[in-house]
Amino acid sequence: MAEAIASKDDYRRYFAADLASHGLTQWRRRDGMRQTELSFQRLLRRLEYLENCRRDPVGRLLAAITRWRYKRRSVLLGFTIPRNAFGPGLSIAHYGSIVVNGNARIGRNCRIHSDVNIGETNGQAPTIGDNVYIGPGAKIFGPIRIGDRVAIGANAVVNRDVPSDVTVGGIPAKVISQRGSNTLVIDGCSAVGL
Amino acid sequence: MAEAIASKDDYRRYFAADLASHGLTQWRRRDGMRQTELSFQRLLRRLEYLENCRRDPVGRLLAAITRWRYKRRSVLLGFTIPRNAFGPGLSIAHYGSIVVNGNARIGRNCRIHSDVNIGETNGQAPTIGDNVYIGPGAKIFGPIRIGDRVAIGANAVVNRDVPSDVTVGGIPAKVISQRGSNTLVIDGCSAVGL
Amino acid sequence: MAEAIASKDDYRRYFAADLASHGLTQWRRRDGMRQTELSFQRLLRRLEYLENCRRDPVGRLLAAITRWRYKRRSVLLGFTIPRNAFGPGLSIAHYGSIVVNGNARIGRNCRIHSDVNIGETNGQAPTIGDNVYIGPGAKIFGPIRIGDRVAIGANAVVNRDVPSDVTVGGIPAKVISQRGSNTLVIDGCSAVGL
C-alpha cells in the first residue's frame, strides 16, 4: 500500500518531488546551512535508498555511515522521523520538534510543521492520505485513517477518522470547514511527473 | 515529601526503575546513541547522585563535570529538566522540547512526552502524583495538585487540581473519562522492587 | 512603524532592555552556558546591529561570521527567529522550539515561551503590540493585529485581532479575561530608560 524508494531512480524522483514541494527546483550544496530542513530530507531519502536497495558490502557500509549521520542530525533538529513513512513530495516546514511513529504511513506531498506528534495507541498508528497539511502543534494518534487533501489546524488533537477534503481543528478535532488543503500544500509530485 | 536520591544504592535503583519504565532490563553503553532519552536520564540520575551525596573533593569535581555535560546534552535535546524533580521510574518518550520548573515535584513512574511544559505561576509549580501519563503538548502550571494514575491528554492545558484515576483533556483541561493511566504507563518501580 | 536597531547606542540599549526584561542588570560572559537564552539574544542583537548599521568591509565580514554563528546556535536551540522582528525588552523564556515568520512584527517587552509559532497566511503575518505575554504552545498566524499588554494563554490558537489589555485562550482563541499581561511581563524598556 505505502510507497517506498525501490531504486536509485526512485531516490532521485523522491528528492526532486520534495524539493518541488518546498517550492524549489534545484538543490545546491551551499544551501545546506540555509535550507536546514531540506538538507535533512536529503539525508532521509538517501538513507531510505541505501537501506531499501543496497545489499552489497559497500552499500551496507554507506548505510551504516548515513544512519549515524541521520541520527545525529535528527537529534540536533529535534526530529524523530522513521524511514519509509512519508511518500514523495514531503515538505518539513521548520526544525523544532517532530515525532512520527514507525508504524505511521503518510501519503504524497505532506506539509508538516513543528511541534507535531503522529503517535501510536496500542502499537497502531495513523494512515494519512495525499496532500495533507499538518499545522503546527497538531497531535495525531491511534489506528485512524485521514483522507486526502485534509488540512489539520494548529494544536488540533486528532484521534478519529477524517474524510477527504475537509479542515479539522480543536481538541478533540472536529470538521470546521469543507475546504481542504488546496492552498496550503504544493503538489511537488505532479511538478516532477511522479 | 518528595523522594530524592540519597545514596549510591538509590542511584542504582532509580536508574533501574527508569530502565524498567522504558520496558528495558539492562543498559548497554552502545545503546547510547539509539536510546538518546535513556542516555540523558542516566546522566540526570548520576548528577542527582553526585550533587546530593558526594561532598568530597573528587565528588565535587565529578559533579561539576557532569553538570557541564548535562547542560550541553539538555540544550541539544531541548530539555530543561531540574534535578530531584522526578521520582524513580521516569520515562521520557522523545527528545524535542520539555520544560519543567525547578519547584515542580513529580512522583514515580511518570511517562512524559515532548512539547510539554510544567511551569510556575508566581513561583509556585505543580505537585504531581505517581504513575501519571503526560501526553504530547500538555501544559501544566500553577500551585496545583494532580493525583495518582492520571492521564493528561495531548495539548491539554491543566491549571486546576485533578483527582486520582481520571483522564483530563482540552483547554482548560476537564475530566473526560474515569479511566486513569493504567494502560499508558509501566510501573518500573515495582518491577525492580522499589 | 516597527522599531529596529539603527546605531551602536541602540544596540547597547536593546540588549540592556532585554537583560532587564529577564530580571537581570548585567551580562557576564561566564553566564553564557547557564543563560542559554540570553546568550542567544545577545547574538541576535549583535547581528541586527551589524546588518543594519555596518556597511564597511570589516562590518560586512563580522556580519557574515555572526550570521553563521547565529544560524548554528538557532538550530541547536530550536529557534527560527528573524532579524528586526522583536522590539527591545525581549525575554525568551526557554530554548525548545520557537518559529517566527520574517514578516511578523512584535513590540517591546515581549515575553515568549517555547513551542510557539508566529506564522503567516498568504505571506501575511501578525503585528503584535507592546508588553505581550505569549504562553507556551501558542500558535498565532495570519494578517492580524494584537494589542498592547495582551496575555495569550498556553496552547491558544490565535487567528483574529485581539484588543489591548485582555487575556485570550482556547482553540480558536477567545477573550477569557479582561486582565492583561500586567503581572506576566517585566517592562525592561522603562527600566533602562528606553
Report chain B residues whose CB lies below 8 A from the CB of A98: 96
Report chain A residues whose CB lies below 8 A from the CB of B94: 80, 99
Which of A78, A93, A136 lies closest to C139 in CB terms?
A136
Which of C155, C170, C171 lies closest to B139 in CB terms?
C155
What does the pLDDT look like over B118-165, one tens digit per residue? 999 999 999 999 999 999 999 999 999 999 999 999 999 999 999 999
Residue in this structure with the C-alpha cell 503538548, named with its chain if needed: B137
Q: Which residue of A has its CA nearest to B78?
A: A78
Report chain A residues whose CB lies below 8 A from the CB of C117: 113-115, 136-137, 154
Contact C137 A135 (CB under 8 A): no
Rounded distance between C-alpha atoms, residue A118 and residue C22, angstroms = 35
Which of C76, C141, C172 lies closest to A76 in CB terms?
C76
pLDDT at residue C32, as a whole number: 65
pLDDT at residue C28, as a whole number: 78
Output C124-127 pairs: Cβ under 8 A, ≥24 positions apart: C125/C101, C126/C158
What does the pLDDT look like over A71-86, one tens digit per residue? 999 999 999 999 999 9
Helix (H, G, I), strand (E, B) or coil at A85: coil
pTM of the model: 0.95
Q: Which residues of A touch B (CB under 8 A)?
A: 68, 71, 75-76, 78, 80, 96-99, 115, 117, 119, 122, 137, 139, 141, 155, 157, 171-172
Contact B71 C33 (CB under 8 A): yes
What does the pLDDT look like over C175-184, one tens digit per residue? 999 999 999 9
Contact A115 C119 (CB under 8 A): no
pLDDT average, residue stretch A107-114: 98
Report chain B residues whose CB lies below 8 A from the CB of A172: 169
Question: Residue A129, Cα to own-chain centre: how many angstroms?
Answer: 11
Chain A with chain C: Cβ pairs closer than 8 A: 65
Rounded distance between C-alpha atoms, residue A170 and residue A180, angstroms = 16
Report chain C residues whose CB lies below 8 A from the CB of A154: 117, 139, 141, 157, 171
Residues of chain C with pLDDT under 70: 1-2, 30-34
Q: What is the torsional sign of CA B100, B104, B108, B111?
A: negative
Neighbours of chain A (3+ CB pairs under 8 A): B, C
Q: ipTM of the assembly?
A: 0.94
